[in-house]
Chains A and B, each alone.
Chain A
Amino acid sequence: LKKEKHLLKLLKKDSSSEKAFKLLLELYQEQLYWHIRKIVLIHEDSNDILQNTFIKAFKYLGNFKGNSSIKTWMYRIAYNESIDYLNNKKKHLQISSQELNNKILQDLQEDIYFEGDAIELLLQKALLSLPNKQRTVFRMRYYDDLKFKEIAEVLKTSEGSLKASYHIAAKKIAAFVTNDPNLLT
């Protein structure tokens, strides 16, 4: 927390803001990349979104009041950018959410930076079958290892409802994977 406060001070000072931004980049680029990647799944898309995330952070750093931690602020930007990206893609291609999920799965199989087997694909399929909130909470808790308190700050919702969503999501995924007929063959 002390480090965060110090970093924020450095970011707000004109003389040290550039160095502090580099530090911010070093601290969060990898975490945020994987956070974004687990939402959009495709590497090229993740790369674009990660760049946009840091550009937005660079632009709006002056508006950051410090009500939340820099980490959750950065995660919020990354999450919003990812969702905006998917919504724009849906609009651009004029397809439904279900059709977009199918397209993402298809693109994932063709992505040269994905080497997952059938089980991994099935897990991604199970995740994409979940409602948006359950999927997001599951990803943030399971993949990003964020605390429920941090997830609540990013998504601006209560911890209690997030915990419930996470448990429902875990159960649904387990059911989806075990009920898949291809898994038995």
Chain B
Amino acid sequence: MNKQNDSFKIPDNYFKDFEERLSKKISVESMSSKSKTISLINKKKIKYTYFIAASLLLFLGISYFFKTNQKDFDNNDELLAVFIDDAYIDEYLDNYLIDSLNED
């Protein structure tokens, strides 16, 4: 057993109350470690949500880009077709005019 001398004192009922104080501290510690785990899980959840949202936005962006560009390509073809037709008509008209002038 420990040799205690009279010089060192302790508060009344110190050992009687110690268990209660300790169990409170242990429950607080385990609570804080639990909340740490929960916050870690939440952080992971947030990260996954951001990742999924970012992927979705990227997918939508790419789809939109292709759709828009497809329209542009279609429009270009139409414009080109019109341009070719006009050029052909102009050339035809020019040739016709030249032929008729020659005939005159």
Contacts and interface: CB of A to CB of B under 8 A. Distances in A.
Interface residues of A, number: 26
Interface band, chain B: 20 to 34
B71 interface: no
Contacts of B11: 43, 113
B9 to A, nearest CB: 4
Interface in B11-59: 11, 14-15, 18-19, 21-22, 25-26, 29
Given A29-B15, A43-B10, A145 B1 contact: yes
Contact of B2 (A34, A50, A114, A117): A34
Contacts, number: 58
A143 interface: yes
Contacts of B2: 30-31, 34-35, 143-145
A34 B5 CA distance: 10
B8 A113 contact: yes
Contacts of B14: 47
Contact of B22 (A25, A114, A143, A145): A25
B8 A142 contact: no
Contact of A50 (B3, B8, B18): B18
A29 B18 contact: yes
Contacts of A178: none
B73 to A, nearest CB: 67
26 contacts: A25-B19, A29-B15, A29-B18, A30-B2, A30-B15, A31-B1, A31-B2, A34-B4, A43-B8, A43-B9, A43-B10, A54-B22, A55-B26, A55-B29, A113-B9, A114-B8, A115-B6, A115-B9, A116-B5, A116-B7, A120-B5, A142-B3, A144-B2, A144-B3, A145-B1, A145-B3
